[in-house]
Chain A
Amino acid sequence: MTTSTILDTSVELNDEGFFTNPEQWNESMVPELARRDGIDPVTDGHWTVIRFMRSEYLTKGSGPSVRMLGKTSGVSVKELYELFPKGPAKVAARIAGIPKPRGCI
Chain B
Amino acid sequence: MTKRVVILGGGTGGTLAANRLRRATSFDEVEVVVVDQNNDHVYQPGLLFVPFGLADPHDIVRRRERQLHRGVSFVESAVERVDIQANEVHLGNGDTLAYDVLLIASGATLSLDETEGLTGPGWMERVFTFYELDGAVALQRALDGFDSGRLVVNVVDMPIKCPVAPLEFCFLADWYFRERGIREHVEILYVTPLDAAFTKPVAAERLTGMLADKNIGLITEFNTGEVDGARGALVAFDGREVPFDLAVVVPVHSGADYVGRSPGLGDALNFVETDEHTLQSKVAANVFVIGDAANVPTSKAGSVTHFEGDTVVDNIVRFLAGEVLLAGFDGHTNCFIETGFHKALLIDFNYDTEPLPGHYPAGVGLPLLKESRLNHLGKLMFQWFYWHVLLPGRDVPGLGADMPTAGKPTITTGKA
Using CB atoms and an 8 Å cutoff, list the residues of chain A in contact with chain B.
65-68, 71-72, 77-78, 80-81, 85-87, 102-105
Contact = CB atoms under 8 A, between A and B. Distances in A.
Contacts of A66: 157, 223
Given A66-B157, A78-B225, A105 B237 contact: no
A6 B367 CA distance: 48
Contacts of A81: 223, 225, 237-238
5 contacts: A66-B157, A71-B268, A81-B238, A104-B159, A105-B299
Contacts of A68: 267-269
A73 to B, nearest CB: 10
The listed residue with most B CB atoms (<10 A of its CB), out of A67, A72, A85, is: A67
Contacts of B299: 105
Contact of B237 (A65, A78, A104): A78
B13 to A, nearest CB: 18
A104 B297 contact: yes
A72 B252 CA distance: 17
Interface in B69-126: 114
Contact of A86 (B200, B238, B297, B298): B238
A65 B223 CA distance: 12
The listed residue with most B CB atoms (<10 A of its CB), out of A65, A71, A103, A105, is: A105
A77 B159 contact: no
A104 B200 CA distance: 10
A70 B190 CA distance: 25
Contact of B158 (A65, A71, A72, A86): A65
B230 interface: no
Contacts of B221: 87
A104 B268 contact: no
A41 B343 CA distance: 54
B223 A87 contact: yes
A81 B252 CA distance: 18
A100 B163 CA distance: 20
Contacts of B267: 68
A87 to B, nearest CB: 7
A103 B194 contact: yes
B326 interface: no
B38 interface: no
Given A103-B199, A105-B199, A65 B157 contact: yes
Contacts of A71: 268-269
B416 interface: yes
A105 B299 CA distance: 5
Interface string B240-283: 00000000000010000000000000011100000000000000
Given A87-B238, A105-B163, 7 more contacts: A67-B269, A81-B238, A86-B238, A87-B221, A103-B194, A105-B297, A105-B299
A78 B114 CA distance: 13
A103 B158 contact: yes
B163 A67 contact: no
Nearest to B221: A87
A72 to B, nearest CB: 5
Interface string B394-416: 00000000000000000000001
B157 A105 contact: no
B308 to A, nearest CB: 16
B265 to A, nearest CB: 16
Contacts of B158: 65, 103-105
A105 to B, nearest CB: 4
A83 to B, nearest CB: 11
Contacts of B157: 65-67
A72 B266 CA distance: 13
B199 A72 contact: no
A86 B221 CA distance: 9
Nearest to A102: B297
A71 B268 CA distance: 7
A102 B237 CA distance: 21
Interface string B145-182: 00000000000011100010000000000000000000
B382 to A, nearest CB: 21
Given A66-B157, A105-B163, A105-B416, A77 B194 contact: no
Nearest to B415: A102
Contacts of B237: 77-78, 80-81
Contacts of A72: 268
B337 to A, nearest CB: 14
Contacts of B114: 67
A68 B271 CA distance: 12
Given A67-B252, A77-B237, A105 B269 contact: no
Shortest beta-carbon contacts, A-B, top 9:
A104-B159, A81-B237, A104-B158, A71-B268, A105-B199, A103-B199, A72-B268, A105-B299, A67-B157
